[in-house]
């Protein structure tokens, strides 16, 4: 048996994944934009999503338009959705107004970090003042160093808004129950948050942690990324997925 064959999932595993996704899709509203545009989320989080029930708590860090938050909501969870970009925060409030009214969605206009302070949220450098907030928050970051191969996705020292950050560890400590899913897409500061989370032992209060990492785009993150991965391996932590997305 070749190496590639060993790495590929078995037919039975693929069948189970598809079955799980179909089950989740049935629980979601067939007319929902979530079902059409975030199928990948169903695959990558299928096991965690299957376990969601009424009363489950999910934290969506870097919620963007709230599409993944909407998945959590439609599967019964109570969601805390952090989005630093004021424009996208307002988009969430508009799109998911009914869920807010039901008391199930709590949108929070804060940047997720390992401390609380007033900070600059740097935006893409292809935007002018009139379109600054209308960047859909994609690629915005607390790190001015953030770059991508495509120049239009680089951040700019001139284009920014000032926002308050939230210490995620303190926020999790303030909750009186277990967190079922923590999703993080926070554009470069994920390792700061994870290191503090692990050292405080708070990862043990979270069933599933999904993280989009950015060290392959931001060279300055290499050392923190190495330390984080080593710490996860040394402590045998199994509920943190750094390969998500």
Residue 216, sorted as left (phi over 0), alpha (psi -120 to 50) or beta, turns out to be alpha
**Could you tell me the two tokens for 33?**
């934009």
Q: In what helix (H) or strand (E) does residue 99 lie, and over which residues does it extend?
A: helix 97-101
Question: Strand 155-167's sheet: what is its strand order?
Answer: 111-113, 155-167, 118-124
pTM, rounded to two decimals: 0.81
In a domain? residue 72:
yes
CA 156 from centre of chain: 23
Considering only CA atoms, which of 182, 208, 180, 183 is closest in space to residue 54? 180
Is 1 part of a structural domain of the chain? no
Residue 237 inside a domain? The answer is: yes
More confidently predicted of 237 and 145: 237
Answer yes or no: is pLDDT of 36 > 90: no
Higher pLDDT, 67 or 140: 67
Q: Identify the domain containing residue 65 by its residue range.
A: 33-113+166-241
pLDDT at 108: 98
Tokens representing 84 are 């630093």
Residue 33: pLDDT over 90: no
The answer to whether residue 66 is domain-embedded is yes
Mean pLDDT of all residues in 24-43: 59
Residue 22: the pLDDT is 65
- Res 119: pLDDT: 92
Query: Is residue 129 one of the residues assigned to a domain?
Result: no
Q: Considering the domain boundaries, does residue 82 fall inside one?
A: yes
Q: Which residue has the tokens 């302070």?
A: 117
- Predicted pLDDT at 37: 47
Domain of residue 83, CATH code: 3.40.50.150
3 or 98, which is more confident: 98
- Residue 3 in any domain: the answer is no
The number of distinct structural domains making up the chain is: 1
- Nearest CA to 160 out of 211, 122, 204, 201 is that of 122
Q: Say yes or no to pLDDT of 186 above 80.
A: yes
Under a CB-based contact definition with an 8 Å cutoff, are residues 58 and 106 in contact?
no
Bridge partners of 106? 80
3-state class (DSSP) for residue 105: strand
| Assigned domain for 68 exists | yes
Q: Highest mean pLDDT range out of 99-108, 138-147, 216-225?
A: 99-108
pLDDT digits (tens, 9 = 90+) for 149-176: 443 345 567 778 899 999 999 999 999 8
pLDDT at 219 over 90: no
Say how many residues make up the chain.
245
């Amino acid at each position: 048996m070749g190496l590639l064959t060993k790495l590929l999932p078995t037919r039975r595993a693929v069948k189970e994944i598809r079955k799980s996704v179909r089950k989740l899709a049935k629980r979601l509203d067939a007319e929902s934009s979530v079902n059409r545009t975030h199928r990948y989320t169903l695959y990558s989080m299928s096991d965690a999503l299957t376990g969601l029930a009424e009363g489950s708590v999910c934290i969506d860090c870097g919620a963007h338009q709230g599409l993944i938050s909407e998945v959590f909501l439609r599967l019964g969870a109570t969601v805390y959705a952090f989005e630093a970009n004021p424009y996208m925060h307002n988009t969430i409030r508009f799109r998911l107004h009914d869920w807010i009214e039901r008391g199930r969605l709590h949108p929070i206009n804060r940047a997720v970090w390992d401390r609380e302070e007033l900070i600059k949220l740097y935006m893409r450098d292809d935007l002018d003042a009139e379109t600054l907030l209308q960047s859909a928050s994609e690629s915005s970051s607390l790190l001015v160093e953030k770059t991508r191969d495509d120049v239009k996705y680089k951040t700019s020292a001139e284009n920014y808004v000032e926002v308050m950050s939230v210490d995620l560890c303190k926020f999790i400590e303030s909750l009186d129950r277990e967190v079922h899913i923590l999703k993080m897409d926070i554009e470069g500061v994920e390792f700061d948050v994870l290191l503090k989370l692990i050292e405080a032992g708070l990862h043990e209060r979270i069933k599933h942690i999904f993280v989009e990492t950015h060290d392959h785009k931001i060279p300055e993150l290499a050392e923190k990324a190495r330390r984080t991965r080593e710490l996860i391996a040394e402590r045998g932590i199994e509920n943190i997925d750094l390969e998500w997305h």
